Amino acid sequence: MREDVSLATVAARAGVSVSTVSRIVNGEMRRASAATVARVLDAIEAVGYRPNPVGRALQRGQSQLVAMIAANLDNPAMATIASSTEAALREAGYVMILCDTHDRPELQDEYLHAMRAQMVRGYVLVAAVPSAGLSELSASGAPAVFVTRRNPTGSGPFVGIDDRAAGARAADYFADLGRRAPAVVFPRLGSSASRDRVSGFLDRLRERGWSDEAIIRADGEGQSHLQIGYEAGARIFGGSRTPDAILCVSDQIAYGVNRRALEHGLKIPGDCDLVSIDGTPLNQWVAPWLKSIEIPYAVYGVEIVAGLQMIWRGESFGERLLPCKFD
Amino acid sequence: MREDVSLATVAARAGVSVSTVSRIVNGEMRRASAATVARVLDAIEAVGYRPNPVGRALQRGQSQLVAMIAANLDNPAMATIASSTEAALREAGYVMILCDTHDRPELQDEYLHAMRAQMVRGYVLVAAVPSAGLSELSASGAPAVFVTRRNPTGSGPFVGIDDRAAGARAADYFADLGRRAPAVVFPRLGSSASRDRVSGFLDRLRERGWSDEAIIRADGEGQSHLQIGYEAGARIFGGSRTPDAILCVSDQIAYGVNRRALEHGLKIPGDCDLVSIDGTPLNQWVAPWLKSIEIPYAVYGVEIVAGLQMIWRGESFGERLLPCKFD
DNA sequence: CTGAAAGCGCTTACAG
DNA sequence: CTGAAAGCGCTTACAG
């Protein structure tokens, strides 16, 4: 377990050149005699050699590092995505660098540059925001998969859910239940995902006979979905019409709305149903009042890595929409 | 923004040697004439040169990467620690690699080896478990700071809270409130932190007149603190004596206990007070019934990085116990 | 079947 | 004040 075991160490011990050891380490067994291979393998074993990824990266122009650039790790959904991606990358022999952009384009660009300097093998962009560096990245053709939000500066491999369908499902649920006054709560400056969930919800309600004016819409400002829900809740419950069913585009928004509902003395469910889209496992423990369309964040990791591997192999990977649970 | 801007590119453009450029890039301004410095700086600017960290790491035997090796990212507390550490490292010019060990010693060792191969500049070990590789690391004197759990294989820089004091604080709170039947819930196979919280609680209760038998103790098995609380709750609420105050050593344990309490038709608070140690911000939104001693996870990052920097400078860094809020 | 050599981008004694 | 050279650990044509 010494620090100074390099190809040279192994080569000396086996009595061959570093070239030969290098080839064998890289699996080119058929270019050396069986005897040599055996001797080298023994030497590797004996000194406990492991290839130095830094030397290798410099030579190959490519490291074993994969950059995950995420908008906000404090969001439990992103934490789960990060965790599952980390596990899948490790299985595949890669190491994950984690970058939190706090949804700020300049930070995202800073990281994008830093990661290119690190010669990362690929990029996982979770809820990426539009930025100059991102456009460059897209243009450069570097291996990248977008998660949750589609590439805001063009197209690209995507892992997520069918957001419009999720919204529509909530609409059907409310309609089938006989609710009359549906509402939807979303971030003012939302992602494509948010918007799709909302429009899927609205379109389906229209199909099922609602007029536009009959559907209550409320948004909230800022980063924090908790705050967004709380703020929008004030307008919803303080308004002239109180809804009997609310779709929140995320769990955290629902938490905020619920707290406001409690302040207004409303019973949830009962006076008003709450449905959200996320379905983090914590809900069953602390928010049993919440019905949620469950996004399978825990399997995002394997899908993301599968996507990267397809790209590395030169195959094309368009998008992978994962099925949600709702019961 | 080309890929091929190296020291050589800059040197050629400025009409000097790479040595000179390298020195200037590294801030050794006084070893070159003012004219040369100006010319080189111009060239750097003109071609948009950024030092390649991989070449640099190989030469220096040390990268700009810092490894965070955490036991379980799905735990919100660890996610917040990871997030704040990432931010602090970025400010300091480092990049964070994230490794999730799932509390498994073999995985921890695998990562420890992989990170050494990456020539990481330092290690942040969050809730590390005992393992052969960890002993090696401690022995090697590599820069490492332990977080949440102290080094289980010896000593080492530590960032955390005064766990015994936190437990004692809960005891005082219950005693001052006039509670008569206190209980404490903890993981069966807990960390040093868990144990200290429990013993701090018990010792203070004893000081304040409780007999050992009067204090209800319940543990639960497994990884998931939610499950631990739920399981222990069954024994607590199904037992002969029902407590009127419970300390849970983590928020998630409290969530589990609360759910069980609800199933038993108990009102929380009212029939029974619940206090936990963690104080994640989510509590105010989804668990207003929970009183929690708040650990400042969001500032762990800056303390951890400050600790690493002290170690890098050769100064000694023993431990940093951060103050908790409880009101 | 095998090895010497060049080179990935960088740093750092050493010589001038 | 400045540069040529060696070397960090590796890979890969190329020559034999």
Query: Would the pLDDT of B3 be above 60?
Result: no
- Beta strands, E only, B172-279: 182-187, 216-220, 245-248, 273-278
List residues, Cβ < 7 Å, touching strand D: A 4, 6-8, 18-19, 22-23, 25-26, 51-52, 54-56, 58-60; B 15-20, 30-33, 35-36, 55, 58-59, 61
Contact in structure between A151 and A124 (CB atoms under 8 Å): no
CATH 3.40.50.2300 placement within chain A: 62-160+298-321, 163-294
Whole-number Å distance between alpha carbons of A292 and A76: 15
Residue ranges, comma separated, of all CATH 1.10.260.40 domains in chain B are: 7-51
A120: tokens are 């990362």
- Closest CB to B98: pick one of A82, A116, A287: A82
Q: What is the pLDDT of residues A42-57, one digit of tens each?
A: 999 999 999 999 999 9
Q: According to the CATH classification, is domain A163-294 in 2.60.40.10?
A: no
pLDDT digits (tens, 9 = 90+) for A125-139: 999 999 999 999 999
- Cα distance between residue A174 and residue A163, in whole Å: 17
- Which of A2-16, A162-176, A310-324, B259-273 has the weakest average pLDDT? A2-16
Tell me, what's the pLDDT at A1?
46
Residue A18's pLDDT is 94
> For chain A, what is the mean pLDDT?
94
How many angstroms separate the Cα of B44 from the Cα of each of A30, A118, A327, B25, B41? 46, 19, 60, 9, 5
Residues 35-94 of A with CB under 7 A from strand C: 35-36, 55, 58-59, 61
Is the C-beta of residue B25 closer than 7 Å to nucleic acid chain C? yes
Q: What pLDDT does A327 receive? A: 83
Q: Which residue is nearest to nucleotide C9 (CA to C1')?
A: B55
Give the integer Cα–Cα distance in Å for B90 and A110: 10
Q: Is the pLDDT of residue A271 over 90?
A: no
Task: Report how far residue A68's alpha carbon sits from residue A88's, in angstroms, rounded to the nearest whole number.
Answer: 13
CB atoms within 10 A of CB B199: 15
Of residues B245, B250, B239, the one with CA closest to residue B197: B250
User: How is domain A7-51 classified at the architecture level of CATH?
Assistant: Orthogonal Bundle (1.10)
pLDDT-above-70 percentage for chain A: 99
Give yes or no for residue A122 having a pLDDT over 80.
yes
For the stretch B296-316, pLDDT in tens is 999 999 999 999 999 999 999
Q: What is the pLDDT of residues A144-187, one digit of tens each?
A: 999 999 999 989 999 999 999 999 999 999 999 999 999 999 99
Test A256 with B285 for CB contact under 8 angstroms.
yes
Query: Is residue A66 over pLDDT 70?
Result: yes
Look at residue B192 in the predicted model and tell me its pLDDT. 87
Q: With 0.95 as the threshold, say if the pTM is over it.
A: no
Q: State the Cα–Cα distance between residues A80 and A300, nearest whole angstrom.
A: 9
| B83 with A74: Cβ contact below 8 A | yes
CATH of domain B62-160+298-321: 3.40.50.2300
CA B94 to centroid of chain Cα atoms: 17
Q: What is the mean pLDDT of chain B?
A: 94
